[in-house]
Amino acid sequence: MTKKGLTYYQADTDRFQDIRIKRLKKRYGCEGYAVFQYVQNEIYRVEGSFICFDEDQAFDCAEYWNISEELVIDIVDYCAEINLFDRNFWTSRRILTSQAIQQRYIEICRRAKKRIAVPDDITLIAEKAVEMPKPATITAQTAEIQQPQNSAEFRGNPQTSDGISDKEKKNKINPPSDSPQRGETQRRNVQNLLSGLNRKFDATCQHSQLDERGKTPIPPELDNGKGRNPDGLMYNLEKYHVPRHEAEEILMLTRYGEIGHPIWALFQEIDRSRGKITMPGRFLLSRLRPS
């Protein structure tokens, strides 16, 4: 019988910067983090992408860490409350899983050429069914078949004997980087977008992009005294090429980049997906819109 679970799983080095982990540690101390890691390990070990967390599972966890079963359940409840686990599956079916867990499980299975087994009724990955195309490997034997010699597509793009163009080799040796000019252009685009949004939401901002402190002004109806980072928010939206109409809605849903808002953890989730989240704007709105 093929084992469903995994013999290993990877961990993100920035997990201690995750605001959810910080909240868990602040509420329950080291015991909270220990329980979360124990449950996550059991998910990968047993089923791979989820676990039915019943009384036996709670007992095993409590015995391992020498704490009460009631405390284990309280910690798991809080983990679901702050979205370390999916809240709906936990409250309705006592199943523990999350989008991040399923993404990591699928990635490991692909690398290990292992069959992916995420039940359809609990999948949280919209991209699961879409296999990312693998880059074509061009060899001397296949170059003649894959690249027609007389095609206009390849004219003016000299190729070497291995079938790879000089331009491709140059880019491979010297990959494009984020130049200072590109960074300045990106910052200018962010400020232009912010300026337009401010004019839309607050007539008092029509003649200025920045306030006296050099920060982007906040519309009065959204200013409840909490710290915000609208420039950082819009910089990330520009970075992920989020369309303007989606950026406007995200700006409002996050109350102009409120500090501590889940949006910052979602940006980390996009980074960890390594390109699997192909439409970041829609992904962010699906997680931010009220259900």
Domains of the chain: 15-112 (1.10.10), 180-288 (no CATH)
Pick the closest to residue 97 from 63, 132, 122 (CA basis). Answer: 122
231 vs 145 pLDDT, higher one: 231
Q: Rounded mean pLDDT of the chain? A: 75
CA angle 85, 87, 89 (to 5 degrees): 90
Whether 1 shows a pLDDT value over 90: the answer reads no
With tokens 């959810």, the residue in question is 20
With tokens 């402190």, the residue in question is 213
Q: pLDDT tens digits for 71-96?
A: 999 999 999 999 999 999 999 999 99
Whether 59 shows a pLDDT value over 60: the answer reads yes
Residue type, position 127, single letter: E
Q: How far apart are CA 187 and CA 234, in angstroms?
A: 9
Please compute the mean of the pLDDT values over residues 189-208 and round it to a whole number: 53
Q: How far apart are CA 208 and CA 205, in angstroms?
A: 5
Residue 268, pLDDT score: 87
Q: Which residues contact 177 (CB under 8 A, 6 or more apart)?
A: none
- Confidence bin at 133 (pLDDT 50/70/90): very low
Please compute the mean of the pLDDT values over residues 148-166 and round it to a whole number: 46
Q: Does residue 190 contact residue 235 with C-beta atoms inside 8 Å?
A: yes
Q: Which residues contact 48 (CB under 8 A, 6 or more apart)?
A: 4, 5, 6, 105, 109, 117, 118
Residue 132, pLDDT score: 40
Q: Does residue 27 contact residue 69 with C-beta atoms inside 8 Å?
A: no
